[in-house]
Structure 1
Amino acid sequence: MSSRLESDPAKATTPLLDALQAELAERASLGLLRQRRVLHGMQGVHVEVDGQRLLSFCSNDYLGLAAHPALISAMQDCAAAAGAGTGASHLVTGHQAAHEELEHTLQTFMGMPGILLFTTGYMANLGIITALCGREDAIFADKLNHASLNDAALLSRAEFKRYPHNDLASLEHMLAQSQARRKLVVADAVFSMDGDLAPVPELLALCDRYDAYLLLDDAHGFGVLGANGRGVLEHFALDSPRIIYMATLGKAAGAAGAFVAGPRILTDYLMQAARPYIYTTASPAPVAAAAMAGVKFIQQDYDRRAHLHGLIDRFRQACQLQRWQLMPSQTAIQPVVIGSNDEALQVSKRLLEKGILVPAIRPPTVPKGSARLRISLSATHSHDDIQQLISHLQMLEAA
């Protein structure tokens, strides 16, 4: 007599699993199936991936701090003193001295009275938007915003309106028509797939005019933009109680985590109402210690940031393309739009054969027909690294 225990688990199926398999097959046929690579050793511009030594242009480690000895030492020392895990949420016993010190450091550095740490930028955006907005409110979002902002808007149950990318006239029309109790404009400060900046001064002016608030996700600007690395607000010399600022600590700062900055009453309220903050175990204290070391580099190492901006200028001046489009960007994100999914994948594959790692980004991450190479520059790249990339790009485009 057969039994369920005798069946082959690898061949077991259900209608749901059949449907999922069909969707995976369709994604593969369209060139949209994502795959993971395994990185061996530390993050950097020269990495070992799946056993191959590569020159990498795909990390968000913009200042090259992720493998810096000072951050590693800070993490090790804190782990020896505070342990590996926090064991509780921030509001129970998980808020350790390293978290408190990092918040004070960011408060001084940013010059903003309210600072609240989150485990990730995704959680920070979910926490901010769902705490501040509900059914009687309206959220106005740039169509190229990060997925976390869109997901948070949907979860909040507020009216969710999306305006064309950086289209101030469309946004103003929406704001003028809205009768919502509370209006929140949300935008990436630096758009992660295009590398361009939001028109932050103009967005803030509209918020002032229509009694709205402005949430800026500066994940890719913090540490890179501004004379002192304070991000998009310093870049535009802006300060307003209407601004809610979010930045991550896993990119230019070289560690992990995120923080929200703004008026103290805002962060006090988020501590009481932001569910992703309240209902999760606090991130390990050693991560906060490493992030603090990274923030100190942002504060003090002007040469590292200046070198990065020199590389950005060099790349944009020297990378002359005919068929493909180098998008306008003054940031470390330099996208080259190729168009078709298959060609973008093939170019990425050919670069890999040359020992250069550049990811192909395809829909739905970017609009249909705009598959691209997303080139990320780091302060630890050399001018020779940049020239090597440019030479191979131009050769492949001409092939």
Structure 2
Amino acid sequence: MNRTDLSPLAWLAEVEARRREAGLRRSLRVRPVVATELDLASNDYLGLATHPAVIAGGIEALQTWGAGAGGSRLVTGNTELHQQFEQRLANFVGAPAGLVFSSGYTANLGAVVSLSGPGSLVVSDAYCHASLVDACRLSRARVAVTAHRDVDAVAAALAGRAEERAVVLTESVFSTDGALAPLRELHEVCRRHGALLIVDEAHALGVRGLGGRGLVHEAGLAGAPDVVITTTLSKALGSQGGAVLGPVEVRDHLIDAARTFIFDTGLAPAALGAASAALDVLIAEPTRAADVLRHASVLAQVCGVRHEPQSAVVSVIIGDAEAAVAAATACLDAGVRVGCFRPPSVPEGTSRLRLTARASLTERDLELAVRVLRDVLRDHPAVSS
């Protein structure tokens, strides 16, 4: 058969069949306006996405500035909202300056690519988020991937480098297992070897540290000149967008060099208004962070997780991908929505239920969660947690 007789997309059918056979086919599910099930899958850790003050903040910004930013922030898309919010967020986490991006994904791409580049070394934890993985690929730096939370491996990679500059990447709270990065130890190694530490605080902001200021703040590294924070506004702050927080010279450099900032439309004003209002709520109600951890502990206990959760994430490893999907489906059928993570999000053989605690869960919510999770895990037992 002549090659021109085949559709250039014919190969997708074979790929789709392989995914389906492996239990890795994904689909989009429409979420209703008013959900009838208990949500233990979203990253709305503080329960602020539907908070009246947060919604009001978004509406006020929308009415004042319009629906969109209108262009790149370097052209027409920069507003008082952008600059006021990024400085407020920087002050909150203890960083000298901040720069808002359109998402946490673009913040990670912009920070890593702009602060590394050809002739440098990037050392990345094996469990880093896909956005950091993609940033490594785009950086054109030499990349060394180290075992999860292995400080000695990071030290060895830095000690053996020939490159003048080096950057170490880690999440502070890892999104798939909820584990904490050994930030103090990593920072000590970075300082010893003259490396920059970039910490993704997406799952720590609002949950760890004094009043939710993040794990970098909790570790006593806030404001360190060799630490850069990236984060998202779409989790604990219940909105949309991302930010890079750190030294003033980093902000200045990103404005000149980060392609995901220069060539991207500025974050929509409504998202900034909502995020700013959410930050107000967090500052006024600092106990929300402790509530998240308290509720995560309840979920971990009923699921038989051996270790006390250190974040909002409770990871329940089922093992087989189809078994994990079946367990998640059973939970949803019983009125509780949970996350289901399969390869490539997690390693082969470690497909899991990913539960996320929220500060806004009520006692009735927790009672339903305990009842459903206990029943489902009896039929679909975890292999380890």
TM range (shorter): over 0.9
Q: Tell me the SS of whatever aligns to 1:215.
A: strand
CA distance in 1, matches of 2:303, 2:71: 53
Equivalent residue letter for 1:62 = Y
Moved more, 302-311 or 68-77: 302-311
Q: Equivalent residue for 2:332?
A: 352
**Mapping of 1:19-38 within 5 angstroms?**
19-38=11-30
Q: How does 1:179-328 map to 2 (within 5 A)?
A: 179-239=162-222, 240-316=224-300, 318-319=301-302, 321=304
What is the CA deviation profile of residues 158-203 of structure 1, one whole-angstrom value per residue up to 9, with x for unaligned ones? Answer: 0011000011111111111011121000011110000011100000
1:328 to partner: Cα distance: 5.6
Deviation of 1:326 after TM superposition, in Å, equals 5.8
Kindly provide the CA deviation profile for residues 120-170 of structure 1, in whole angstroms up to 9, marking residues without a partner as x. Answer: 011011111111212200100000000010111111110011000011111
Cα distance in 1 for residues equivalent to 2:72 and 2:369: 45
Instruction: Name the CA distance, whole Å, in 2 between partners of 1:278 and 1:128.
Output: 12
Structure 1: distance between partners of 2:368 and 2:5 = 49
Identify if the C-alpha distance between structure 1 residues 34 and 80 changes in structure 2 by more than 3 Å, giving closer, same or farther: same
Deviates more, 1:345-354 or 1:297-306: 297-306
Question: 1:17 maps to which residue?
Answer: 9
Determine whether 1:361 maps to 2:341: yes
Q: Distance in 1 between matches of 2:303 and 2:94?
A: 41
- Partners of 1:190 and 1:198 within 8 A in 2: yes
2:126 to 125, 143, 158: 143
Query: In the alignment, does 2:106 pair up with 1:127?
Result: no
**1: CA distance between counterparts of 2:297 and 2:138?**
40
**Where in structure 1 are there 5+ consecutive unaligned residues?**
1-11, 42-46
1:15 Cα deviation from its structure 2 partner = 4.2
Residue 97 (structure 2) aligned to one of 114, 128, 133: 114
- Structure-2 residue corresponding to 1:89: 72
Determine whether 1:340 maps to 2:298. no
Which protein shows a greater Rg?
1
Cα drift, residue 229 of structure 1: 1.1
User: Which of 136, 139, 153 is the aligned partner of 1:170?
Assistant: 153
User: TM-score, normalized by length of structure 1?
Assistant: 0.90
Instruction: Indicate how the Cα distance of structure 1 residues 114 and 320 shifts in structure 2: closer, same or farther if over 3 A, else same.
Output: closer
Task: Decide whether aligned partners of structure 1 residues 345 and 363 sit closer, same or farther in structure 2, where only a CA change above 3 A counts.
Answer: same
- How far does residue 16 in structure 1 lie from its aligned partner after superposition? 3.1
Matched, 1:70 2:62: no
- Secondary structure of the equivalent of 2:318? strand
Task: Provide the rounded CA distance (Å) in 2 between the counterparts of 1:248 and 1:307.
Answer: 20
Equivalent pair of 2:87/2:97 in contact (CA under 8 Å): no
Query: Shift of residue 378 of structure 1?
Result: 0.7
SS in 2 for 1:154: helix
1: CA distance, partners of 2:116 / 2:288: 39
Counterparts of 1:394 and 1:338, CA distance in 2: 14
Q: Per-residue deviation at 1:329?
A: 2.9
Aligned equivalents of 1:228, 1:347: Cα separation in 2 = 35
Structure 1 counterpart SS, 2:211:
coil
Kindly indicate whether residue 374 of structure 2 is the aligned counterpart of residue 384 of structure 1: no
Contact 2:168/2:197, CA 8 A, preserved across alignment? yes
Match of 1:329 among 279, 304, 309: 309
Distance, in Å, in 2 between the alignment partners of 1:359 and 1:120 is 21
Distance (whole Å) between structure 1 residues aligned to residue 8 and residue 17 of structure 2: 14
Cα distance in structure 2, aligned partners of 1:328 and 1:362: 23
The 1:59/1:326 distance shift into structure 2, 3 A limit, reads: farther
Give the alignment's TM-score, normalised by structure 2: 0.94
Q: Distance in 2 between matches of 1:352 and 1:167?
A: 36
Query: Over aligned residues, Cα RMSD in angstroms?
Result: 1.6
Whether contact under 8 Å (1:327, 1:337) holds in the other structure is: no
The corresponding residue for 1:3 is: none
Deviation string, structure 1 residues 55-75 (Cα, Å, up to 9, x no partner)? 110010000000111111111
Contact 1:194–1:327 at 8 Å: present in 2 too? no
Greater shift, 344-353 or 158-167, is seen at 344-353
Contact residue 46 and residue 237 of structure 2 kept, 8 A? yes
SS at match of 2:26: coil
Equivalence map 1:369-380=2 (5 Å): 369-380=349-360
CA distance in 1, matches of 2:150, 2:288: 34
CA distance in 2, matches of 1:14, 1:69: 55
Q: 1:44 — aligned with what?
A: none
